[in-house]
């Protein structure tokens, strides 16, 4: 390896330079690093002198970009708020349709974004955080009302299903076709000769006329019951029951489910308190006798329903 020497004036002789290559490389790296700092420092100083507003321009450009995004979000929020309001109004209409009272959120109702999305909005650095907080609050209100309307819709859906069951179950047709005899109310009993409450409706038909279920339900009694003779009782749910007396034959059994229009019995003249062939028909709600005429709708054709 080549050796390098330098002349020492103190020693008056040439002295070998040890580790010359290592020291040489270190000096090159050191001066390169110093030169880089000097060059970059000079560049930034010159750039600042030539274009002192470069950083401000970059920040303004970024601010304009954020402002455009804010305005875009504003349009989307307003559209969403409008659709949410329309959904709320529709839900109110649906609640009325299924016999539910309208509900509202009161002070929690989402209003307009207002100045949050003003096209001419100018924000200082300190105001940016406040606007962001306001946006978060606005979004939270929308989320709250959306969840509220979802629950509202779930209530409507549940009520509609219950109404469908109610409409299918509630007595709504005449159980057999014939003219009316004694009606609901106080009367002079034709056999006992005393004034007493007649809790049902007598439909005059010959023995052997088919008797149909006026609504869906479950048979809770099928057998003989005192002066009523052969008696059938159906529980329709929702507190409603119907009773059919003086039958000649019962075609269903206790516990059996029936639907509106099913033939469940045959009319007759059974029972000691029957003065002739007819069907005695009662409607009760929570045990209280109601006028069966109020549960017979003339626009529903019994035999058309049976054919279906």
The confidence score (pLDDT) of residue 113 equals: 47
3-state percent helix, strand, coil for the chain, nearest multiple of 5: 45, 20, 30
Q: What is the arithmetic mean of pLDDT over 15-39?
A: 65
* Residue whose tokens read 């529903």: 300
Asked which of 97-101, 270-274, 275-279, 302-306 is least confident by mean pLDDT, the reply is 302-306
Q: Report whether pLDDT(106) > 50.
A: yes
The confidence score (pLDDT) of residue 129 equals: 60
The confidence score (pLDDT) of residue 114 equals: 47
The confidence score (pLDDT) of residue 141 equals: 76
Q: Answer for the pair 254, 264: CB distance below 8 angstroms, yes or no.
A: no
Q: How many CB atoms lie within 10 A of CB 266?
A: 19
Can you read off the two tokens belonging to residue 110?
Answer: 């989402």
Give pLDDT tens digits for 193-224: 667 788 899 999 999 999 999 999 999 999 99
Class of domain 185-307: mainly beta
Q: What is the arithmetic mean of pLDDT over 119-141?
A: 62
DSSP per position, 22-65: HHHHHHHHHHHHHHHHHHHHHHHHHHHHH-TTHHHHHHHHHHHH
The confidence score (pLDDT) of residue 299 equals: 61
Cα 83 from chain centroid? 16
The confidence score (pLDDT) of residue 69 equals: 72
Q: Report whether pLDDT(107) > 50.
A: no
Q: What is the arithmetic mean of pLDDT over 287-300?
A: 85
Give pLDDT tens digits for 258-281: 999 999 999 999 988 777 899 999
Cβ-in-10-Å burial (0-12, 13-18, 19+) of 1 comes to exposed
Q: What is the pTM of this model?
A: 0.56
* Residue whose tokens read 């030539």: 50
Domain ranges of the chain: 5-50, 68-169, 185-307
The confidence score (pLDDT) of residue 45 equals: 65
């Amino acid at each position: 390896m080549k050796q390098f020497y330098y002349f020492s004036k103190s020693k008056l002789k040439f002295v070998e330079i040890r580790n010359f290559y290592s020291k040489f490389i270190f000096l090159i790296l050191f001066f390169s690093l110093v030169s880089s700092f000097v060059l970059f420092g000079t560049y930034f100083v010159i750039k600042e002198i030539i274009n002192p507003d470069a950083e401000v321009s970059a920040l303004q450009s970024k601010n304009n970009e954020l402002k455009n995004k804010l305005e875009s979000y504003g349009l989307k929020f307003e559209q969403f708020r409008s659709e949410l309001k329309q959904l709320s109004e529709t839900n109110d209409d649906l609640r009325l349709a299924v016999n539910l009272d309208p509900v509202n959120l009161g002070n929690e109702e989402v209003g307009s974004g207002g100045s949050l999305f003003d096209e001419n909005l100018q924000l200082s650095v300190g105001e940016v955080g406040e606007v962001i907080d306001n946006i978060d609050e606005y979004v939270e209100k929308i989320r709250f009302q959306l969840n509220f309307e979802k629950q509202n819709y779930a209530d409507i859906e549940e009520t509609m299903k219950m109404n469908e069951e109610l409409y299918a179950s509630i007595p709504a047709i005449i159980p057999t076709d014939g003219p009316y005899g004694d009606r609901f109310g106080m009367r002079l009993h034709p056999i006992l000769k005393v004034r007493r409450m007649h809790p049902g409706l007598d439909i005059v038909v010959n023995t052997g006329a088919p008797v149909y279920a006026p609504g869906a339900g479950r048979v809770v009694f099928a057998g003989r019951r005192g002066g009523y003779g052969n008696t059938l009782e159906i529980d329709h749910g929702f507190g409603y029951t119907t009773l059919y007396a003086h039958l000649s034959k019962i075609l269903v059994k206790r516990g059996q489910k029936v639907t509106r229009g099913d033939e469940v019995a045959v009319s007759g003249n059974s029972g000691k308190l029957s003065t002739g062939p007819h069907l005695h028909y009662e409607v009760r709600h929570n045990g209280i006798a109601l006028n069966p005429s109020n549960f017979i709708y003339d626009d529903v054709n019994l035999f058309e329903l049976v054919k279906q």
